[in-house]
Each structure stands twice: as structure tokens, then as C-alpha cells.
Structure 1
Amino acid sequence: MDIAERTQELALKVHQHKGSVETEEATKNAFVMPFISSVLGYDVFNPAEVIPEFTVDVGMKKGEKVDYAIVHDGEVQVLVEAKKVNDPLRIEHASQLFRYFAVTNARIAILTNGETYHFYTDLDAPNRMDDKPFLIFDLTDIDETLLPELAKLTKESFDLDSVINAAGELKYVGRIKRVLAAQFTEPDDEWVRFLTTRVYERSFTQRVRDQFLPLVDKAMRQFLTEQVNDRLKTALGSSGGYVSGRVAPFDDMGAADLGGPTITDSGEAPADVDEEAGEARRGILTTEEELEGFRIVRAIVCSEVQAARITARDTKTYFGVLLDDNNRRPIARLWFNRSQKYLGVFDAAKNETRIPITHAEEIYQHADQLRATVARYLTGSNGAAGSSAG
């Protein structure tokens, strides 16, 4: 597995078990050690690679310990301090990291609660750990643009110089992205003024602010949706363009291609395939919630197959998740374009059952069934397993 698949696998484990992990020690055993071993590739049981309870006497402080020291080429290169899962990560929790950073060769320090990882170095002053992390890696919301930087700290691709050289840019780009995320979630007055004064020539009064606040919020959400649709269209190889603000379909995925009837919530037969395909050709809207559902399904089944083999095709009525971009290998359907959302799952005969859900995260409750579907295709126990991609 590549680093993307390894992080997705660990993210699923954290999601499934963090509710039952109640102590710092349990957090280290359940999540932090797997991060060091599975994601970064170091043998946590080999003291030549990972030193637990790493101790160095620092001034008047004797016997203080850092949870883990990661060794590469015979030198301590990375220090890791762990806190209990769900505990917020604050710089005051990293006092040992500060002290040890100055007296070891380590240039990287990690503060983590097993779910979020804060990476520090010494950009502001030599041999003194910075107050702000240069990289924040969150397993609950994996930023795939950070994976190449994380890969530079793995045992197989360790490149400390490259990490340090990129740290300055990562530090400020990450902060800017978090500021933008906050503004897109809840724009503040300064942001509303900034945008309004570029499209409205009169004075910016409280009345104008109240008028433009919902407009700014609406415009930003529409902009994000359009950007997401554009990126998804490109990623999935669509040849179509925008149609009335919507993304042209990536492909038609009709029920007839699935080799069996569809069981709907009403118990009725599905709409005619040609009618559905014609509707899809008039344009679709891919929502962020559908993309979230797709990422969750991919995270679940990447334990069975490489993540790159999990693809998506959107239609106007549902969002389909496929194995190998093959419409005869459906993994799931996301029926999210309605007030009552459904997860469509498939049995061995490719009959679909729609399961009512409220939020995309509820897909995790059906992980075993989704994995079993993929396993059937891989073992050839389903008749369409050997079909060519549709």
C-alpha cells in the first residue's frame, strides 16, 4: 500500500475506536504506534529505530521523558509527544519537546492526540522549537496535498533537508488555508467589507453589511461547489463541460447494467434506464456531501483493494461508487439528492438495498457489507467480476 492508503486505513481505525479509547497510554498503543509503524514505516519494537520513553537529562530537569524518539541513520531525528485522543493540542502540552529539541539532533517534533498531528521545527531560531507547527495533519480530514511531505519522513524515503526547506512555505500556506476555511464557514465583518467594497461603490454602512453578509456567504458556497465539481470532473475524466452551472455527467450508470433489479424504498421498479441516462445528460450537480460519502466508501474498502481502483460516476439521481470504473462492479450508491438520504448496497446477485441514513458518516456502520462486496468481485464469486470496464 502507498502512503495514501495507509493513512486512510489508520483514519478508519481511529474513527471506529476512538470512542472506546480513554487514556493517553491507550491512545499511544491504539493510534500513535500504528502511525509510526504503518504510516511512517518504522519498527516500533526495534530500539534502533524507535525509542519509547526517550530520556535525556536537561539542565536541572532529570529523568524527563519524551514518548518516542525516531532514529534514522543512527541519529535521533524526530521526537514524538502523545496526548489522549480528543484532547485539544496546545503548545503548553509540549514542554518536554521544547527542552529535548535543544539538546538532541532532532529537527522535527510531533505533538499528537492520535487523531491530529502537529509537526514542528526550528524556523524562527536555530535549535529552538517554534511555537507554531509548520504542518498540521488531521486523520479526520486528510489533506492529500500534505501526503508527499509526510512521505519525506518515512523510513523508506527519509529526506530531512527537503522537509526543512519546505517547512516555511507549508507553515504559512497552512495558516492561510485555515483562515480561508474559517471565512468560508462564517465570514467576519472585515471579510464581508473586503469583498463588498469591490462590487459596491457606495459607503459600507451597517445596513449594507447586513444586506451583503448573506450574499457573500451564498457566493462563496456557490464558488466552492463549482470548484469541487470542476476538480471532480477533471479527476474522473469527464469530456463534458458546465451546463447551467452544473457539471456534465461523467458517464451513464443505469440499473440495467447491474445485472439485477433494484430494490427501492418504495418497493417499485426503477425508472427506465434510457430516461435516467437522458436526464443525466442534461447535467448533474455533485455536492460536497456526495464527495464526502465517496471518500468514506473509499477509505473503508481500501483495506481490500488499492484506493486508485475505487472510482465514481455521478448521475442526476444518485452518486455511484464503482470498482475499476466498471458499471458491472457497483460498490455503493449514494442517494443524497433528497430529504431522506439512502445508502445503496449490493448483495451477491447485485440487487440493491437502500438503507436510510441521516449523515454520510453513518456509512461507516455498513463497512463490513461494503468490504464484502469488493471481496466478491476480487475473488470472482460474482458473475460480472471478469467483465470489462463499462
Structure 2
Amino acid sequence: MELYNQLKGLADKVEQLKDQIETEESTKHAFILPFINMLGYDAFNPTEVVPEFTADLGLKKGEKVDYAIFQNGVPILIIECKHWKQDLNVHNSQLFRYFHVTKTRFSLLTNGIIYKFYTDLEETNKMDEKPFLEFDISTLKESIVKEIEKFHKSKFDVSSIVDNASTLKYTREIKNLIEKELEHPSTDFVRLFASKAYHGRLTSTILEEFTEIVSKAFTQMISEKVSNRLNSALNKEEEKQKIEEEAEPLSKTKIVTTEEELEGYQIVLAILRRKAEKERIVYRDTQSYFGILLDDNNRKPICRLHLNGGTKYISLFDEHRKEIKESINSVDDIYNYEELLLKTIDHYDQH
């Protein structure tokens, strides 16, 4: 969790400063060296981080890679850096040459935003053409951070990373292939399903028809799975609330509906009268929030007002009923979310 927070901080810094970073050298100092430090390596200790590391290529002497990270006197990771605006896809051949003449099993190509980690899964001491780990620091997920953490000085283990690299690499490749097939189904992909669903001869006309059917079927299946998961989460929330109410039958006596909450309800009601009858907009006060529902249905939350703590905020809901929290200074700020509140009514009435 600590590394995740550090990387999120670096991502914020990248977003704030990148337009002022005009050179590759500035990219290194502002974005890449902080990343190296987060992995536990001292960028100012020449026994750990060697800048301009010499990687002689046969008769071609003096070739240098931007950084090499050492452990116990052996290079464990070489890093080639580019300016943050540069497309990394045209630069891996340079790193490919460096990898071949060093003892490392890992290399990193980065522009401070995109990071690509490589190893030699396909042929020993020959860098793979495709990375086994790739991420954009501005859209980090916790699962990726766990993989980055394996390169931390305190946890670095060559065997562990290599063993997992194959799974990471081919999982990513397969996910990319699936995504491409879903967007533009190939003939082979369509034929795979059409041959099992259709018992006639698969002519070009039939395959063309099934291309649309297969694409539509997958889209519907994914949509249904997302919807089922959301409904499952809502059911669990309702069940939890029911259990809490049964466990604390006197809890309602502790609830005090304030004038401010009622004022907030009247504002929401005034906004929504254009889309729904007054009787459909119902409030329920709880110990933790003041909820406003459509049709007095827990599955149709319109918003939740949190007005009794130190910080006031409103919870809104998108088309997937995902909660979005927004800070407010007073109930008058509810008017700022008029469009979102009206859209919420539309989402429920359309489904």
C-alpha cells in the first residue's frame, strides 16, 4: 500500500509537470529517478545505481545505457530512458542490443509515463520482443503495483520474477487478442462459434451474418455479467443493512432528521419534479446518511446526503449505480448537480 501511494503521488507530479519538461534529461531527473528511489535504490549511490552504464557491443565500444541497477556487484536491471512525449515502440531495438551484452535478466524501457519491463523468456540472454509487464503510471491498478513491488530492493528475487513473467506476458497477450476479437471478430473466431451453433454449411454469407451475431452476443454477455455483479453487490448491501436493523431494533430511535436534511430533500425534490411525480421521491434517514430514493426502492438510490459530520458531501450514482462522492459547503450546492440527478432518474426509468 505504501508503494501504491508513492506511485500515485509520482503520477500526480507527472501530470502537473510534464508540459514543462522539455528534454530527455529533465524527464530522467523529474520522473524516472524518483521511480528508482521508490524501488528502494539510492540513485546517488554509484554502487547501486550507475548512470551511463557502459555496454560495449563487440567492436563497437562506448555504448551506454542510461541506468543500471546493481545488487551485490551484479547488474540486475538496465534502464533506457526517453523523453515523456516519445513513442517507446520505436526504441526497444537499442535496449535489445544492450541486454545481450550484460549479465542482467531484466530491462526497462520508459519515458516516465509508460513503463515496459522485458526479460528473456523465449531465448536465454536474448531480450524478448514484447514486454512481460507494461503499465501507464497515470492509470495504475493495485494488481500491477504488486508486480512492480517485486523489483523493490527488499524483495528482489530473479527466480520469482522470471517464474511469474511468463504468466504475466501471455495473459496480457491473450487479453489483447480477446479485446481485438470483440471489436473486430476475425473469420476464424466467428467460425469457432458458428460451427457449434449452426448446423448447416458455413458459406461466406452465413459467416458474415454470424460476425454480427457473435459480436452482439459477447457484448450482451459482458453487459449482463457487469449488471449481475452490481446487483449482487446491492443485494449484499441490503442484506447487511437488514441484519444491522435486526441486530439493533432500537437504532431508529437514535436517528434525528435535521432541518438541514429536510431542506436538502426539498431541493432534490424541486429539481426532480420535472422528471418524476412528487410521490415517487422518498427519503429515508439512517444513522450514517440521509438517503433519497426513487419509488421507495433501495435499488434506486438517487443521492445520499452526509450533512452531520465535519465535512459535508453528497453521494450521487452513475448509470451502473456506482457511488460518486462530492464535497459540498451547504445544501445550496446540491443545485450544482442538477444534471446528474436528472440523469439518474432517466437511467432508472429506461431500464
Structure 1 residues 280 and 112, CA, compared in 2 at 3 Å: closer, same or farther? farther
The 3-state SS of whatever aligns with 1:152 is: helix
Matched, 1:70 2:69: yes
Q: How does 1:21-170 map to 2 (within 5 A)?
A: 21-38=21-38, 40-90=39-89, 93-170=91-168
* CA gap 1:22/1:194 in 2 versus in 1, 3 angstroms: farther
Aligned residue for 2:91, secondary structure, equals: helix
| Cα distance in structure 2, aligned partners of 1:96 and 1:16 | 30
Whether contact under 8 Å (1:237, 1:250) holds in the other structure is: no
- CA shift for structure 1 position 231: 5.3
SS at match of 1:272: strand
What is the match of residue 354 of structure 1?
Answer: 336
Matched, 1:205 2:186: no
Deviation at 1:78, TM superposition (A): 0.5
Structure richer in helix, relative to its length: 2
Is the 8 Å Cα contact of residues 344 and 355 (structure 1) preserved in structure 2?
Answer: no
Deviation per CA, 1:185-223, whole angstroms, max 9, x where unpaired? 333333233233332333333433443333333332233
1:7 corresponds to: 7
Letter in 2 for 1:93: H
CA–CA separation in structure 1 for the residues paired with 2:73 and 2:314: 48
1:261 maps onto 2:264 in alignment? yes
Query: How far off is 1:28 after superposition?
Result: 2.2
1:176 CA drift (Å) = 0.6
Alpha-carbon distance between aligned partners in 2 of 1:337 and 1:191, rounded to the nearest angstrom = 31
The residue identity in structure 1 corresponding to 2:41 is Y
- CA separation of 1:70 and 1:191: change in aligned 2, threshold 3 A: same
Structure 2, unaligned runs of 5 or more: 243-256, 274-280, 285-290, 341-351
2:153 is paired with a residue whose SS is coil
Alignment map for 1:297-376 (pairs within 5 Å): 315=301, 317=302, 333-334=315-316, 336-337=318-319, 345-349=326-330, 351-352=333-334, 354=336
SS at match of 2:151: coil
One-letter code aligned to 1:190: D
Worse overlay, 141-150 or 225-234: 225-234
Whole-Å separation in 1 of the counterparts to 2:87 and 2:152: 26
Q: Output the CA distance in 2 between the equivalents of 1:12 and 1:175.
A: 29
In structure 2, C-alpha distance between the alignment counterparts of 1:250 and 1:321, rounded to whole Å? 20
1:347–1:332 CA distance, 2 compared to 1 (3 A)? closer
TM-superposed CA distance for 1:110, in Å, is 0.7
Structure 2 letter corresponding to 1:239: K
Q: Figure out how many residues of one structure are paired with residues of the other and give that number.
A: 307
Residue type of the partner of 1:41? G
Q: TM-score, normalised by structure 2?
A: 0.70
Report which stretch shifted further, 210-219 or 72-81: 210-219
Measure how far apart 1:129 and its partner are. Answer: 1.6
Judging changes above 3 Å, is the alpha-carbon distance between structure 1 residues 162 and 105 closer, same or farther for their aligned structure 2 residues?
A: same
Q: Which has the higher contact order (CA 8 A, sep 6+)?
A: 1
Partner Cα separation in structure 2 for residue 266 and residue 237 of structure 1: 24
Work out whether residues 234 and 299 of structure 2, in 8 Å CA contact, stay in contact via their aligned partners in 1. Answer: no
**Deviation of 1:108 (Å):** 0.5
CA RMSD of aligned residues (A): 4.1
* 1:171 positional shift: 1.7
Residue pair 2:316, 2:325 contacting (<8 A) in 1 also: yes
Determine the C-alpha separation between the residues in 2 that align with 1:200 and 1:29.
60
What amino acid sits opposite 2:236 in the alignment? S
Q: Verify the 8 A CA contact 1:75 1:105 in the aligned structure 2.
A: yes
| Cα deviation digits, residues 59-96 of structure 1 (max 9, x gap) | 22222211111122332210111122243222x52344
Q: What do residues 246-282 of structure 1 show as CA deviations (whole Å, max 9, x unaligned)?
A: xx89979xxx799572797997379432494465846
Is contact 2:282–2:295 with CA below 8 Å preserved after alignment?
Answer: no
Matching of residue 273 in structure 1 with residue 283 in structure 2: yes
How many angstroms does 1:349 deviate by? 4.2
Change in CA separation of 1:49 and 1:349 when aligned onto 2, cut-off 3 Å = farther
Whole-Å separation in 2 of the counterparts to 1:263 and 1:63: 75
Q: For 2:12 and 2:235, how far apart are their aligned partners in 1?
A: 29
Indicate conservation of the 8 Å contact 1:81/1:111, yes or no. yes
TM (norm. structure 1) is 0.64
The structure whose Rg is larger is: 2
CA distance in 2, matches of 1:140, 1:192: 35
Aligned counterparts of 1:209 and 1:249: Cα–Cα separation in 2: 47
Aligned-partner Cα distance in 2 for 1:105–1:97 = 13
- Counterpart position of 2:253: none
Cα shift at 1:131: 1.9
| Secondary structure class of the residue paired with 2:67 | strand
Residues of 2 paired with 1:321 and 1:45: CA distance?
51
CA deviations 1:96-120 (Å, max 9, x no partner) are: 4233323333111011222221111
Distance 1:81 1:170 in 2: 22
